[in-house]
Amino acid sequence: MVLRVSIVLPTYNERGNIEPLLEQLLPLQQHYNLEILVVDDDSVDGTAELVRRLAHTEPRLRLIRRVGRSGLASAIKEGLLDATGDVAVVMDSDGQHEPASVRRAIDTLVQGDLDLVIGSRFHPEAEILGLSGRRERGSNWANASARFSLPRGYAGLSDYMSGFFALRLEAVLPLIRAVDVNGFKFLYELLAVSKGRLRTAEVPLSFQPRTYGSSKLDLAIFWDFLISILHSLSLRLLPRRAISFGLVGVSGVAVQLVVTQLLMLSGLGFEQALPFAVVAAASSNYLINNALTFRFQRLKGLALFRGLLKFLLVASLPVLANVGLASAFYSLVARDTLWAQLSGILVVFVWNYAASSRFVWNTP
């Protein structure tokens, strides 16, 4: 019986890379009952239109065009849930993963009776041609952090951040459904929710330079990784967004403390400076949360300004509680501006998170 294989290719603005990649992948139909799913996040460079034209003459090729939703992890999850193969392979669409690695990964998966095979850039036999020194150091640091936060059964793996892996769909499907698509890397989140139960192995990759376009790595990706690590270390008991919202709140604490001191140095008393500092901190929290915590629902233009007004309105009641409690603490408990402000900040966190998620960014 011919093995049914689904290859999932998430894309965003990969028009220059996708056609050469497909030309190398389609000959695999000589060995497998093949389907290739291109999951495109509504690219603006014509990627989806090109894939649609190619699919007119190639029945093995399917296009899933996503409008109104985005993100690498969610694209991979959607592709895997739509896949019909016995085995699924996920790989990047930028040409950095060699198609020749697909057969090696599938053979290792089937012959070893495994659940998951990872293409590793850091395997002893791997070759890294398409990773700068800075990116390689960053990946090494990320892998070390991931190893610390994941179940011990995966301690022998070398590349938890890989975008190339093969898996048995039927065995892993329940875990795929449980993956948090807001996570940093789909593979990392899959390993985290599996709690060490997956039978895994690695194959070496020859990691190639990108031919067209540029890497999608940015501050938001680093932030997602930090939240993923903290989410795992909390035993996944705390919602990812609550962790992110809390970290942003820590920066707001710093803003409030600094603004308070600056205003007091300018001649205002503590009680007079505090309201201005609280509003400054709330505005800072709003802008950072919009850029990071809720970036997939990010508000722009006039909506950004309206969102700020909503955020300040939602926060108005706890702002009054913040000011009132901090002032009372300062007047009645201890004339300590630091602990007075922290006591007020602590009271308002849960309200701000729940209310702003629902009424500002329209998320449950």
Q: What is the pLDDT of residues 252-283, one digit of tens each?
A: 889 999 999 999 999 888 889 988 998 899 89
Q: What is the pLDDT of residues 91-113, one digit of tens each?
A: 988 877 778 889 999 999 999 99
Domain count across the chain: 2
pLDDT given at position 344 = 61
Q: Of the spans 204-208, 219-223, 244-248, which averages the highest pLDDT? A: 244-248
Q: In the predicted model, what is the mean pLDDT of the chain?
A: 85
In a domain, 48, yes or no: yes
Q: What is the pLDDT of residues 120-153, one digit of tens each?
A: 988 888 787 655 556 667 677 788 888 888 999 9
Residue-range definition of the domain harbouring residue 353 = 240-359
pLDDT given at position 321 = 62
Final residue of a structural domain among 218, 252, 287: 218
Do residues 29 and 63 both lie within one domain? yes
pLDDT at 335 over 80: no
In a domain, 227, yes or no: no
| DSSP collapsed to 3 states, the chain | CCCEEEEEEEECCCHHHHHHHHHHHHHHHHCCEEEEEEEECCCCCCHHHHHHHHHHHCCCEEEEECCCCCCHHHHHHHHHHHCCCCEEEECCCCCCCCCHHHHHHHHHHHHCCCCEEEEECCCCCCEECCCCHHHHHHHHHHHHHHHHHCCHHHCCCCCCCCCCEEEEHHHHHHHHHHCCCCCCCHHHHHHHHHCCCCCEEEEECEECCCCCCCCCCCHHHHHHHHHHHHHHHCCCCCCHHHHHHHHHHHHHHHHHHHHHHHHHHCCCCHHHHHHHHHHHHHHHHHHHHHHCCCHHHCCCHHHHHHHHHHHHHHCHHHHHHHHHHHHHHHHHHCCCHHHHHHHHHHHHHHHHHHHHHHHCCCCC
In a domain, 229, yes or no: no
In a domain, 231, yes or no: no
pLDDT at 15 over 70: yes
